[in-house]
Amino acid sequence: MSKLGLIIQREYKTRVRKKSFIILSIITPILLSLLIMMPVIIQKSTFRKSTILIVDNTQTMGELLERTKNSQFIKYVNMPTEMTIEEVADRYENSEDTMVLHLNKNFGIISNSPGQLYNNKHPGPAVINNIQDDCFDLFRKIQVLRITKLNLAQVDQKLGRTCVIQYEGLGINPQVRSYLSLAGGMFMYMLVLIYGVQVMKGIMEEKNNRIIEIILSSIKPVKLMWGKIIGIGLVGITQFTIIIIASILFLGVIKNAVDIDTSEIVNNQIQTMNANGDINENVIPKISIEELDAIRSIEDLKNYLPTFILVMPFLFTGGFLLYASFFAAVGSASNPDTETQQFILPITIPIIISVLIATTIMNNPGSDLAFYTSMFPLTSPVVMAARLPFINWSTEWWQIVTAISLLFGTVWFSTRFAARVYRTAILLYGQKLTYKNIWKWYKQSN
């Protein structure tokens, strides 16, 4: 193996074997997946189907509720009209998931207030909300029915179950797009910063524990620096890959665990859209908002994945090399007793600014600030990562190409700068770390 290969191998192996690497690689995808699926999991784990026994004073609404509003969460049972509330209460007292809904006689035609709900235990807000939604939906339909003289099935068809905006471009839900934007920006910020600082720390370790002179008697300083940067960069790419693959796997596992079948739901949606006559409500399973969001998120993630996998490695490599070279220069110029904090700050400021801009992209992706900072090499890795979900490939591809080209052009200069400072400074001890000295070492290396 070549000497450069040996250096890369050591830098890579020692870091990949660290507990912190393994923990971060496992925990990040779990957290990412849980974040997406958490609402569904919480709902699923806390959900129990409730039976609502209806004592109907309206004579009509109870029957309508039973006929049209049964779902996987709630089962409405309209009690025979001769049964009084006390008689029904005798029946539900033994069962904890059973409640009694006493409908006011004015509900539906005159009033939108359904009546009273009786329960031995405290019902969860989700159950109450569901009953309220069902009652209110029925109330509105009755009101429409009174004005239009249509029958209920016709009202249902006219009103529809839901309204869906067709998204243009990438087809990704704007909300998911915002999350992807924020996540991409933050992800890039963390990778560039974490691994950039690791380059600096690695160099400082070698310089300060004085192994540097032994190694430099075997390999040229610039090769050593490159070995370190490449090795640590590969650790970053490995972690990046693990996190992506593991996230996909975990998402799949969790999706199965919470029992969501995406294809069935998509088919049902099509069925609904194509239906012309009476709509059979029983065919369409009622999906909770949380489940629908999770399903959409997963579908949108699948759509976004190719762009992400194609562009992010370039942005990471460029961003990492750019910042790693600055960190390498500071690391090589440091001494055991020097305070490097004041030199790290100016390097991290552009990354922090990038993150701040990235958070605004969610709400305003087309702003001039977003555009220019996604082109400017010091901010482009993070800002472009955040803009990526909003980029329209067919018309805006050139922006990605320009940003990456400018980034790598700057990397060409920054790595040369770092190599020159490194070559001189790495063997200097007891010299003060100042900007003037860094410039002097850069010039000296000529």
Residues in touch with another protein (CB under 8 A)? 1, 3, 6-7, 10, 14, 205-206, 209-211, 213-221, 427, 429, 440, 444
Which residue number, 429 or 435, has a Cβ lying nearer to another protein?
429
CA angle at residue 260 from 257 to 263, to 5 degrees? 140
Which residue number, 224 or 361, has a Cβ lying nearer to another protein?
224
Q: Cβ 191 to another protein, closest distance in Å?
A: 23
- In whole angstroms, what is the distance from residue 71 CA to residue 50 CA? 10
Nearest CA-CA partner of 428 in 216, 230, 197, 195:
216
Q: Cβ 423 to another protein, closest distance in Å?
A: 9
Q: Cβ 427 to another protein, closest distance in Å?
A: 7
Q: Which residues pair with 74 in a beta bridge?
A: 50
**CB–CB of 282/352 below 8 Å?**
no
Q: Cβ 441 to another protein, closest distance in Å?
A: 9
**CB–CB of 141/159 below 8 Å?**
yes
Helix (H) or strand (E) holding 117: strand 115-118
- In whole angstroms, what is the distance from residue 128 CA to residue 146 CA? 27
Q: Cβ 344 to another protein, closest distance in Å?
A: 22
Nearest CA-CA partner of 188 in 15, 302, 357, 328:
357
Which residue number, 405 or 437, has a Cβ lying nearer to another protein?
437
Q: Cβ 212 to another protein, closest distance in Å?
A: 8
> What's 107's DSSP letter?
B
What is the Rg, in whole angstroms, of the alpha carbon atoms belonging to the chain?
31
Which residue number, 13 or 158, has a Cβ lying nearer to another protein?
13
Q: In sequence order, what are the residues at sequence separation of 6 or more whose Cβ sits closer than 8 angstroms to the Cβ of residue 415?
A: 229, 321, 325
**CB–CB of 153/278 below 8 Å?**
yes
Q: CA 260 from chain center: how many Å?
A: 19
Q: Cβ 209 to another protein, closest distance in Å?
A: 4
Tokens of 366: 């087309």
Task: Kindly list the distances between the CA atom of residue 148 and the CA atoms of 39, 109, 377, in Å, as whole numbers in the listed order.
Answer: 39, 14, 62
Q: Cβ 325 to another protein, closest distance in Å?
A: 21
Count the helices and strands in the chain (H runs, E runs). Answer: 16, 4
Which residue number, 180 or 426, has a Cβ lying nearer to another protein?
426
Measured torsion, CA atoms of residues 245, 319, 406, 9, in degrees rounded to the nearest 10:
-80
Which residue number, 208 or 303, has a Cβ lying nearer to another protein?
208
Which residue number, 164 or 214, has a Cβ lying nearer to another protein?
214
Q: Cβ 213 to another protein, closest distance in Å?
A: 4
Measured torsion, CA atoms of residues 52, 57, 62, 64, in degrees rounded to the nearest 10:
-160
Q: Cβ 432 to another protein, closest distance in Å?
A: 14
Which residue number, 41 or 216, has a Cβ lying nearer to another protein?
216
**CB–CB of 7/229 below 8 Å?**
no
Count the residues in the chain: 446
Which residue number, 216 or 265, has a Cβ lying nearer to another protein?
216
**CB–CB of 102/116 below 8 Å?**
yes
Which residue number, 159 or 427, has a Cβ lying nearer to another protein?
427
